[in-house]
Amino acid sequence: MEPDTEPRGTVTQREQSMVLNDVNMLYHIYATVPPIAQTLMMELQRKNHVEYLLRGLQQLGPSFCSLDANRPWICYWILHSMALLGEFVDADLEDRTIEFLSRCQMPHLATTYAAVNALISLGGEKSLPSINRSKVYTFLKCMKDPSGAFRMHDAGEIDVRACYTAISVASILNILDDELLQNVGNYILSCQTYEGGIAGEPGSEAHGGYTFCGLAAMILINEADRLDLAALIGWVVFRQGVEGGFQGRTNKLVDGCYSFWQGGVFALLRRFHSIIGESPTPVDQRGAECSIDNTQTTTASDVSEGDGSSDEISSQGDEHCHFQHREREPLFHSIALQRYLLLCSQDPRGGLRDKLRKPRDYYHTCYCLSGLSICQHSWLKDEDSSPLPRAVLGPYSNVLEPVHPVFNIVLDRYHEAHEFFSRS
């Protein structure tokens, strides 16, 4: 018997083939069903998502362990998702959430970031005053390394994620000073790789999450122009695959969460003139377009309004960030990404997921919804405007609240926090 000499490919290649087959099949089904069925398939299942999220929040109570570093993250993922959907929690859940987060005494930068963002996402006269800025500042100084970077916890790892969480928290709480800023930019700059993306630490592989964290931190410290932005843009652009979604690293699988980690990079590049004086030239949308089946899909050129030469409109966000809006096409294919999120990442029962065959979870629900919001609002000239109908895939009821791309907090909650911490 002849041995099997047929090449089998690597594990990643086989998994990629399976993902493409799954997505192909679903997109083919979508393309062949009647229009009314297409509308139903593209509808954001708001009610089911809210019910799924509320069930998670209702776990909070005395028995909900406050020593697990994941718990404040779960609060943030759920509360931010609720805010994106335009939903508020009732007074009892609000009190329980604030009380729970006050018991989370684990000194860890990621946990601190999650807790602060959760309380800001909750908003209101009880939540914001519950943040002890003096203690947070003392903790941030303790995590500052002589190199200029930050450690995640006492004797913990130093990486770009630690730098971003520290600078983000300090900025939004209005406690960012020269001591915290010193040499952070030098460390992040040392993590930009030959590919153009940013790694977690010097010498590692470029990664979508670290690229977002590095760029966002450099914006907050007003040093983004030190990065090789052309190379960074090129790397992120080519992370959008034929499925329409983004991968986190070169030659890896698509994952719904990178709709924010990678898509959010484009929101930063478009909105903040502290990075570059002019918006970068849009890539040829056909290069990033999902090639599996484009039936019933709005193209990027269909969504564009005007010639992209409109005047700039700037409004101050905080000490380091200034919005600059232009009527220009986004640097990624927002319609293809929305299609991936609504058809492949959305669980019709509620919640969102990495990809088909994967279970839903709060992490992916948070970042898939954040990425969907980025898509819908990526064409806007003014942050107070509503998205153009043609920029929203599916029924217009799919529109989510806009986010502040640096902090990934719904804009109105960000403005509330900014005003509160500016005067206190």
Active site residue: 75, 191, 213, 257, which one? 257
Active site residue: 30, 187, 258, 363, which one? 258
Is 226 annotated as catalytic? no
Q: Which amino acid is at 267?
A: A
Is 325 annotated as catalytic? no
Is 22 annotated as catalytic? no
Active site residue: 161, 354, 375, 377, which one? 354
The token duo for 281 is 């030239």
Active site residue: 49, 80, 161, 252, which one? 252
The token duo for 415 is 């403005």
Is 249 annotated as catalytic? yes
Q: Which amino acid is at 194?
A: Y
What is the rounded (10 degree) CA torsion for 240, 245, 249, 252?
Answer: -110
Active site residue: 71, 161, 364, 404, which one? 364
Active site residue: 255, 326, 328, 353, which one? 255
Is 257 annotated as catalytic? yes
The token duo for 369 is 């919804």
The token duo for 35 is 């229009």
Is 252 annotated as catalytic? yes
Spatial contact of 172 and 120, defined as CB atoms under 8 Å apart: yes
Is 258 annotated as catalytic? yes
Spatial contact of 268 and 406, defined as CB atoms under 8 Å apart: yes
DSSP collapsed to 3 states, the chain: CCCCCCCCCCHHHHHHHHHHHHHHHHHHHHHHCCHHHHHHHCCCCHHHHHHHHHHHHCCCCCCCCCCCCHHHHHHHHHHHHHHHCCCCCCHHHHHHHHHHHHCCCCCCHHHHHHHHHHHHHHCCCCCHHHCCHHHHHHHHHHHECCCCCEECCCCCCECHHHHHHHHHHHHHCCCCCHHHHCCHHHHHHCCECCCCCECCCCCCCCCHHHHHHHHHHHHHCCCHHHCCHHHHHHHHHCCECCCCCEECCCCCCECCCHHHHCHHHHHHHHHECCCCCCCCCCCCHHHHCCCCCCCCCCCHHHHCCCCCCCCCEEEECCCCCEEEECCCCCCCCHHHHHHHHHHHHECCCCCEECCCCCCEEHHHHHHHHHHHHHHHHCCCCCCCCCCCHHHCCCCHHHCCCCEECCCCEEHHHHHHHHHHHHHC
Is 347 annotated as catalytic? no
Active site residue: 161, 207, 326, 404, which one? 207
How many CB atoms sit inside 10 A of residue 251's CB?
A: 9
Active site residue: 49, 144, 249, 413, which one? 249
Active site residue: 22, 145, 293, 361, which one? 361
Write out the catalytic residue numbers: 207, 249, 252, 255, 257-258, 354, 361, 364
